[in-house]
């Protein structure tokens, strides 16, 4: 279906052309690279340390008692930090101009239980190209018990989703390191998204499984073997790690797209979205808490999600400087630029939309509107 959807700039606007020239001009004028700088390199070491230092203290039996549990908690924050601030840029080829550096750093996702190859298909292609278009954007298709899009099927249980959604959000990371990548691999294979065939496709799958085995071996089996604690201590700590990481990752990504002012476009009978791609991105994506430096540091600039969707190959450390250029150009062209002043405002909008989607069958409403 995704191949049949096209963005048609029916108004022949030159918005993105002008915006791109202005953003490029910012880097040229200031003689800086759009890729990682010293601050980004520091952040990379910080996020990796936030995960692996507590792990080292825990597995060496240096951290005992309450410190043992605190290590798992810190690892949860570290895993989310690696996902948002390190692997995300690398797998978008925004970390470096050298592909091999992006590839190596992108494997930090595999190191903490995911799969970079699968993620690139889901995130870079399906989500970034077809943002908030049901059912192509897999980020907004129905999950068990959850409805994220007006175009998705409505079920009676969804009326309570604004209450239980956050519990399900916390399970995201645990599902990711167990079954998500495997089920995605076979689904993408059936859809023809994985181009390799035969032995090469089998090799890709085998590599995924070997990374999973490595992850579970060092994160769970190794601590169980070497530590003088009951096995359930390790399993419970591992659960804490992923409940925290899952909650953080889920909420941050939902606040960018599943919020009240965001658009959920429907292609016309010809399979076209009647707007320029860049304008579509701004109508379906929101920024939040842009003046909060702590959040901006930890979230890897994902609170500047609209900027990221327009310029995914620019390292996120530059987003605060680019945002005013986008805002001014959007205002000049009369283009919507969605943003919330605080994290709390964005979270409140997300909860309200979950509640609306749970009580109203938007799918039938859209069908009645033709």
Residue 369 — very low, low, confident or very high, per pLDDT cuts 50/70/90? very low
Span 237-249, average pLDDT: 98
Residue 57 — very low, low, confident or very high, per pLDDT cuts 50/70/90? very high
Main-chain dihedrals φ then ψ at residue 349, nearest 5 degrees: -65, -40
128-146 burial, b at 16+ Cβ within 10 Å, e below that, comes to bbbbbbbbbbbbbbbbeeb
8 A C-beta contact, residue 241 and residue 55:
no
Ordered by start, the domain boundaries in the chain are 2-368
Higher-confidence position of 300 and 368: 300
Distances from the Cα of 133 to the Cα of 6, 49, 121, 338, 356, angstroms? 12, 37, 16, 17, 18
* Residue 341 CB contacts under 8 Å (≥ 6 apart), including other chains: 288, 289, 291
8 A C-beta contact, residue 73 and residue 81:
no
Longest dimension (CA), the chain: 68
DSSP structure string for 301-328: TGGGHHHHHH-TTS-GGGHHHHHHHHHH
Q: What is the pLDDT of residue 271?
A: 83
DSSP structure string for 204-228: HHHHHHHHHHHHHIIIIIHHHHHSS
Span 264-268, average pLDDT: 89
- Segment 109-147, tens digit of pLDDT: 999 999 999 999 899 888 999 999 988 898 888 788 999
- Segment 244-253, tens digit of pLDDT: 999 999 999 9
8 A C-beta contact, residue 298 and residue 81:
yes
- Segment 279-331, tens digit of pLDDT: 999 999 999 999 999 999 999 999 999 999 999 999 999 999 999 999 999 99
Q: What is the pLDDT of residue 360?
A: 74
- Segment 66-87, tens digit of pLDDT: 999 999 999 999 999 999 999 9
DSSP 13: -
Facing residues of 143 across strands? Answer: 146
Report, in angstroms and rounded to the nearest whole number, the Rg of the chain calculated over CA atoms: 21
Residue 361 — very low, low, confident or very high, per pLDDT cuts 50/70/90? low
Span 36-40, average pLDDT: 97
Cα–Cα distance, 144 to 247 (Å, whole number): 16
What sign has the CA pseudo-torsion 42, 43, 46, 49?
A: negative
Length of the chain: 370
Cα distance from N-terminal residue to C-terminal residue, the chain: 19
Q: What is the pLDDT of residue 2?
A: 47
Distances from the Cα of 158 to the Cα of 138, 305, 362, angstroms? 18, 27, 12
What average pLDDT does the structure give for the chain?
93
Q: What is the pLDDT of residue 168?
A: 96
Cα–Cα distance, 85 to 39 (Å, whole number): 11
Q: What is the pLDDT of residue 135?
A: 87
- Segment 167-224, tens digit of pLDDT: 999 999 999 999 999 999 998 888 888 876 667 889 999 999 999 999 999 999 999 9
Number of C-beta neighbours around residue 76 at 10 A: 26
Q: What is the pLDDT of residue 194?
A: 83
């Amino acid at each position: 279906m995704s191949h049949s959807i096209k963005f048609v700039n029916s108004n022949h606007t030159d918005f993105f052309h002008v915006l791109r020239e202005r953003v490029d001009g910012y880097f040229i004028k200031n003689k800086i690279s759009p890729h990682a700088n010293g601050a980004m390199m520091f952040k990379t070491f910080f996020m990796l340390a936030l995960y692996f230092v507590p792990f080292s203290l825990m597995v060496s039996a240096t951290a005992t008692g309450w410190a043992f549990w605190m290590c798992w908690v810190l690892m949860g924050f570290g895993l989310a930090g690696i996902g948002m601030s390190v692997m995300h840029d690398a797998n978008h080829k925004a970390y470096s101009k050298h592909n091999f550096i992006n590839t190596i750093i992108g494997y930090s996702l595999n190191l903490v239980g995911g799969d970079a190859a699968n993620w690139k298909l889901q995130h870079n292609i399906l989500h970034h190209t077809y943002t908030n278009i049901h059912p192509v954007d897999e980020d907004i298709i129905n999950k068990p018990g959850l409805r994220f899009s007006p175009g998705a099927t409505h079920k009676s249980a969804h009326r309570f989703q604004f209450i239980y959604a956050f519990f399900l959000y916390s399970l995201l990371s645990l599902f990711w390191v167990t079954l998500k990548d495997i089920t995605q691999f076979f689904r993408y294979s059936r859809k023809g998204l994985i181009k390799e065939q035969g032995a090469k496709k089998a090799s890709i799958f085998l590599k995924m499984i070997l990374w999973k085995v490595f992850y579970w071996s060092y994160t769970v089996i190794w601590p169980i073997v070497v530590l003088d604690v009951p096995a359930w201590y390790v399993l419970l700590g591992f659960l804490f790690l992923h409940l925290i990481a899952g909650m953080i990752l889920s909420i941050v990504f939902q606040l960018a797209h599943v919020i009240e002012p965001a658009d959920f476009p429907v292609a016309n009978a010809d399979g076209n979205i009647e707007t320029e791609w860049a304008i579509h991105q701004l109508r379906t994506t929101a920024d939040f808490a842009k003046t909060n430096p702590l959040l901006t540091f930890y979230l890897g600039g994902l609170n500047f999600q609209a900027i990221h969707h327009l310029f995914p190959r620019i390292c996120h450390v530059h987003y605060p400087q680019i945002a005013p250029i986008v805002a001014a150009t959007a205002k000049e062209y009369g283009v919507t630029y969605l943003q919330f002043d605080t994290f709390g405002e964005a979270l409140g909008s997300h909860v309200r939309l979950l509640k609306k989607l749970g009580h109203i069958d938007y799918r039938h409403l859209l069908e009645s509107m033709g």
